[in-house]
Chain A
Amino acid sequence: MTRAMKRRDFIKISGAATLAAACAPKGSAVQPVADNGPEQMLMRENPKNGDRISALGFGCMRWPMIKDADGKDVIDQEAVNEMVDYAIEHGINYFDTSPAYLQGQSEKAAGIALSRHPRDSYFIATKLSNFGDASAEASIQMYKDSFKQLKTDYFDYYLLHSIGRGGKDAFNKRYVDNGLVPFLREEKKAGRIRNLGFSFHGAKHEFDYFMELFDSGEMVWDFVQIEMNYVDWTHADGVRNVNADYLYKELDKRGLPIVIMEPLLGGRLARVPESISRHMKEREPDKSIASWAFRFCGTYPRVLCILSGMTNMEPLKENVETFGHFKPLTEEELEFLEEMATQMMEYPLVNCTDCKYCMPCPWGIDIPGTFQHYNKAITDGTYAQNTEQKNYAQLKKAYLVSYDRAVATVRQADHCINCGECLSHCPQSIPIPTQLKRIAKYIEDLKQDTL
């Protein structure tokens, strides 16, 4: 795809979106916020079935956890109920969960919170997350359990969870050899699955295979969920993970509605390095850093819904505001974000989105905790680079103390034994043991002042 083509698309897109926003029905009971006019959640229509879906979807993977009486992690249901109520009240009607999320508790919590509202006031998306035991029995059991957990008798959107890695072979193992494909077809016919799709992380040729299946009619996908944001648009590593612009183009060509995951890269695009955030604030002083990432995704018309895993009320309110007064990006702004993404690639960040698929590490390492802490130090500019540096002693202490606070000593990077168990789980294809070793080495250098 040429640059000129893209630009033309953008102009069309932004024009269309602006028009859509202008024509949006008025007269809702929502009070005007500041001088931005009345809040009106940006809605998208699924061209295949007319579902009117909020462009902001609620990802149920990052809900707050608290300790129960036995010291076990449990979802803070009260907080979830409050967020879900607020979300529905403000027009969010798409909730995306999985039997694997949050140590297997996400679906149940979603079921509890959502069942307090009429079933036709929201859409449920969940997944067949048969990563461990892919036998027909276990997979069908997982499928059936999801109904119970979510207190429903149909799924609006059902996904084959994270296919791509392993390509054809992995797909056959999880869905074809065990006879699940005809089973799911029957379930769809029976109306228990309204839309069948898949979520994807992987390389170009792996994605192409799933498109071939679609083109040949072997698999009828109703929608596809991809990772898309202004960094992955053209800066995914390109080898193990294909760029999002390619995915978008291929899906757009086939008229497939797209659901977006990781629009913020697990929060990394809500907290960018200072040099980048300054540029953003110069343009939009009152808009959050995260709003740029959401506007990026929302600018593309084939996007049906953008999922955000909101942990508490603050990001929820902020995102409702972003989508309640949605302003698509202009072509010039898209170029600006491309420039910001290029600058961001200069930082030695670990490409972790804190999805926790790698967890639990069998040896107890807190993998996402270690990466999040490391990335934060780099983003915040509190990362000591060498012993000659001004404030070196201060930065060293800050890094070491904050690391001990963030991650228990026995779960830190130096304890990784490179067993490689995590590698196949990472949707971002991070070479986790190598990155942990790099961070452990950095910490050793800090401690020994040999940086």
Chain B
Amino acid sequence: MLKKLRVALAWIFWVGITLLFLDFTGTLHAYLGWMAKVQFLPAVLALNVGVIVALVLLTLVFGRVYCSVICPLGVFQDGISWLRAHRSKKPFIYRKGMKALRYGVWALFVIALVAGVHVFVTLLAPYSAYGRMVQNFLQPIYLWCNNLLATLSERAGSYTFYDKEVWLRSLPTFIVALVTLIVVGFLAFKGGRTYCNDVCPVGTTLSFLSRFAMFRPVIDHDKCKHCRACELHCKAQCIDIGKDHEMIDYSRCVDCFNCLEQCKFGALEYKYAWSATKNAKNVALEPENTVSATNNAENVALEEKEPKSRRAFMTGTALAVGAAALKGVEARAQEAAKKTDGGFANVLPKQAPKRVTPITPPGSKSVKSFYQHCTACQLCVAECPNDVLRPSGRLDYLMQPEMSFEKGFCRPECTRCAELCPTGAIQKITKEEKTQYHVGTAGVNVDLCLEATGKSPCGKCAEVCPTGAIAMVQQGETRRPAVAEEICIGCGKCEYLCPVRPISAITVNGKGHHI
């Protein structure tokens, strides 16, 4: 019964969060946005006290149900474990947790969080790791299906579905997501909740509380026949049944309740555990000397795997950065205009200019604050209706979003990323506030500018600037745009609509402090 409840709730959260990442129309976040906001790390970064207290209490009362229900990466791993159960008959066997790795990673994570080593934090944040996988692998499929429906819809003369471009936003992030998928997937297939219990810093944080949980699965020593049915089905590998002892490592138990329905002798019960029974007392301790010889070998094997997986992450990242540097969009030569009627002039795709300071979304207060809070979950990237946001390729902010204007600009009526962001990296703002939110400043490259070089009359940037920050000023023979730095808000409309391609003659550079 408890397991069914857990599975049902897990499905709801998992489907909800996945849909949240898939939806690009901005309709679902009104209903599902809270599912991202109750994620542990985002709530901590957003200083969302209500959610933190609720999650702490939840864990203190019921144990790590967070890991089994709310965390989408946890549920994803359960899915893999389920596949394993159907594919191979190999049971789970108790193993001692890898404390050094677990606490080592946790300590490094906390230091990284405080010191601002963003890459390390975003790499391990479980909800964000899941978000990246959905955004990189599932959303394209979702969009292709949508585009198929859009084609059919177009033929039927309906506007229900409309086309949405599918494009690779960042190769490094794609590779990191791929490596995450492979590593977490492999670990889940091999050892159930290995990632959650030996690596995940959120899992470790919650484990500090869960070992004192009010309700826990408890083994009744008198009833236990030591058949090991529960141990063999424990995907957290935290139940140890010996010849004459039985023990559950509550720091690693994620309250999936799989064990409960395995016990044929009624020895396992999820119950109030604060009445200090001898069983409870027995098992509240960390197991030190109860590991059987057979399990040792597996431990060693797994311990070897762990560092490897971390190395794999790092290697993947390094490779990805290298690839990004090599990647250059080939410029197609513009065809000479014909003197006949019809046809189109070739339009080169835009390329992002070098921006000394990255541009972060309106609502992020400052570049520093934004990157301190963001866990790189890609929710804003997946939802941005103007294709402005994409994961950064800079090493120090790898995978965390930045703005760029090759496919659109930050439209004045849109505040969607601010509504979505679960970490408080982008704080809620109104459309009115956005009109004054100074995220960057435009600068002119007169060597490229059509008017300044006398190639063609233009003045597009001055014409379209929503704040009137750009004026065309006479300089000798020609005119050129000039930007009033304090009036410019950095929305990127001028850069996006500048006819000069592939790199615009007017480009926006980020502003460190927005307000």
Contact = CB atoms under 8 A, between A and B. Distances in A.
Contacts of A101: 340-342
A360 B464 contact: no
B339 A100 contact: yes
B191 interface: no
B497 interface: yes
B499 A359 contact: no
Contacts of B344: 359-361, 364, 366, 411
A103 B338 CA distance: 8
A303 B340 CA distance: 29
Interface in A359-407: 359-364, 366, 397-398, 401-402, 404-405
A156 interface: no
B132 to A, nearest CB: 27
A268 interface: no
B23 interface: no
Main secondary structure of the interface of B (DSSP, over half): loop
A401 B162 contact: yes
Contact of B339 (A132, A364, A420, A449): A132
B412 interface: yes
A69 interface: no
A357 B450 CA distance: 25
A99 interface: yes
A360 B337 contact: yes
Contact of B459 (A357, A364, A417, A448): A417
B306 interface: no
A448 B413 contact: yes
Contact of B345 (A362, A418, A448): A362
Interface string B394-412: 0000000000000110011
A410 interface: yes
Interface string B175-192: 000000000000000000
Interface in A392-451: 397-398, 401-402, 404-405, 409-411, 414-415, 417-420, 447-449
A362 B500 CA distance: 12
A88 interface: no
A102 B341 CA distance: 6
Contacts of B292: none
A360 B334 CA distance: 13
B163 interface: yes
B26 interface: no
Contacts of A401: 159, 162
B445 interface: no
A357 B342 CA distance: 6
Interface in B292-330: none
B340 A420 contact: no
B456 A404 contact: no
Contacts of B162: 401, 404-405
Contacts of B463: 418
Given A398-B159, A405-B154, A418-B459, A104 B464 contact: no
B459 A397 contact: no
A73 interface: yes
Contact of B499 (A104, A404, A417): A417
B347 interface: yes
B345 A131 contact: no
A419 B458 contact: yes
B175 to A, nearest CB: 28
A355 interface: yes
A409 B154 CA distance: 17
A404 B153 CA distance: 14
Nearest to B408: A409
A449 B342 CA distance: 34
Contacts of A366: 344
A132 B347 CA distance: 22
B460 interface: yes
Contact of A419 (B343, B411, B456): B456
Contact of B457 (A359, A415, A418): A418
Which of B338, B344, B407 has the most chain A CB atoms closer than 10 A to its own CB? Answer: B344
B346 interface: yes
Contacts of A131: 339
A359 B411 contact: no
A133 interface: yes
Nearest to A356: B342
Interface of A: 61, 73, 99-104, 131-133, 355-357, 359-364, 366, 397-398, 401-402, 404-405, 409-411, 414-415, 417-420, 447-449
Given A104-B338, A397-B159, A420-B457, 6 more contacts: A99-B340, A100-B340, A102-B341, A103-B343, A359-B344, A364-B347
| 10 A-B pairs closest in CB distance | A132-B339, A104-B340, A364-B347, A356-B342, A401-B162, A103-B343, A401-B159, A360-B345, A417-B458, A364-B345
